[in-house]
Structure 1
Amino acid sequence: MVQFTIPEGLHIRPSTASDKPFIEKLHREVRQDLQCIDGEQDFIESIVDMQLKAQTQGYGAQYPNAMYFIIEKHNEPIGKATLDFGHNEIRLIDIGFLIAARGHGFGRAIIQSFQHCAAQSAVPLTLTVLSHNLSVKRLYLELGFQVSEVQPPYELMIWYPPAMKSIVGV
């Protein structure tokens, strides 16, 4: 069984319509690269908004049963996660944290809680990571994920619950 400790005050809850301003704020922080576009601020903001809308619609089309969660620390939103609970896997579609919430072990704890859910359901936990995102990839490797498939610029990673490892031969 996955052993982990949830930091005090950290919890995850389903996202609601009232979380939209936070999700937009988080998206702007996560996508700082879009702020480098050459253009007027209104144009840049429209690109950021379109990218968030396209991402949300893309998740909905590819994962129609996806569930959206807000990660909180002492009842303040600090991140979000999107998961799809399929028949044969739990897919971590997206996870992101405000810049101020990074580097405190919150992501590790949340992913370990997802691993615990996967172990309870006896299914693997899968995710994709950008190949060049070495710090995040290192975290996933430390948590027992393995690269399953490479389709540049992404890598599919998979974590098998201990009870499944002997079945699948990993």
Structure 2
Amino acid sequence: MLTSSFAMPAGISLRPAATGDQPFLATLYRSARPDLQLIDGEPEFIETVVAQQYAVHAQGTGEEYPNAMHFVIEKTQAAVGALVVDFGHNEVRVIYLAFIAAARGFGYGKAVLRGVLQAAGNVQCPVTVVVWHNNRGAKRIYLELGFQVEESQLMADRMVWYPRQP
């Protein structure tokens, strides 16, 4: 659905996440949350906190967005990222988008987001995302794609993209 009608960078594709992807997704989450490595404590304690945060993330996403679509992003059939998106009644919500460090900075995230925007634009639906204030790179990409800050909170901004009217 997200990859069939727009150009992805060479070798990039999306596929539905499967149970066997959990070890990769947990490792990806860890790499996408360097803030958790700053916790003052023993390495075992930090790993416990990271594992708990991942469990809360996964459970919370499932409870709040039971119909969300979970994708693994691949580069030449190797897992390099993940996308969780919910196509709701009034909006499309990008819940989670992350890449392993080696796949960052190549435009893959922007390409995946363009696919989400195209799908949302086809049905004239806005796209929303929450971006942490410390994630300046992501915020820059969302702004480049036409997102606007709709609400600013203490730790994050809620951003929205509105489709062009036909």
What TM-score do you get using the length of structure 2 for normalisation?
A: 0.91
Structure 1 residue 67: deviation in Å?
Answer: 1.4
Structure 1 residue 5: deviation in Å?
Answer: 3.4
Q: Figure out how many residues of one structure are paired with residues of the other and give that number.
A: 162
SS of residue in 1 equivalent to 2:157: strand
Name the structure 2 match of 1:107. 109
| Greater alpha carbon shift after TM alignment, 31-40 vs 61-70 | 31-40
Structural RMSD (CA): 1.6
Name the structure 1 match of 2:22. 20
Name the structure 2 match of 1:36. 38
Where structure 1 has 5 or more consecutive residues not aligned to the other structure, the ranges are 165-170
Q: Residues 135, 73 of structure 1: CA spacing in aligned structure 2 closer, same or farther, 3 A cutoff?
A: same
Name the structure 1 match of 2:51. 49
SS of residue in 2 equivalent to 1:163: coil
Give deviations 1:118-141, integer Å, cap 9, x for gaps. 011221111111133222111111
Give deviations 1:66-93, integer Å, cap 9, x for gaps. 1111100100000001111101111001
Name the structure 1 match of 2:150. 148
Name the structure 1 match of 2:88. 86
Tell me which of 157, 160, 163 is aligned to 2:159: 157
Name the aligned partner's letter for residue 37 of structure 1. I
Name the aligned partner's letter for residue 46 of structure 1. T
- CA–CA separation in structure 2 for the residues paired with 1:34 and 1:159: 30
SS of residue in 1 equivalent to 2:10: coil
- CA–CA separation in structure 2 for the residues paired with 1:127 and 1:85: 12
- CA–CA separation in structure 1 for the residues paired with 2:6 and 2:110: 9
- CA–CA separation in structure 1 for the residues paired with 2:21 and 2:93: 22
Structure 1 residue 151: deviation in Å?
Answer: 2.0
Structure 1 residue 40: deviation in Å?
Answer: 2.5
- CA–CA separation in structure 1 for the residues paired with 2:6 and 2:12: 13
What TM-score do you get using the length of structure 1 for normalisation?
A: 0.89
Name the aligned partner's letter for residue 124 of structure 1. P
Structure 1 residue 4: deviation in Å?
Answer: 6.1
Name the aligned partner's letter for residue 72 of structure 1. E
Percent identical pairs in the alignment equals: 45
Name the aligned partner's letter for residue 143 of structure 1. L
Where structure 2 has 5 or more consecutive residues not aligned to the other structure, the ranges are none
Q: Does 1:60 align with 2:62?
A: yes
| Greater alpha carbon shift after TM alignment, 52-61 vs 29-38 | 29-38
Name the structure 1 match of 2:135. 133
Q: Does 1:119 align with 2:121?
A: yes
User: Deviation above 6 Å: which 4+ runs of structure 1?
Assistant: none
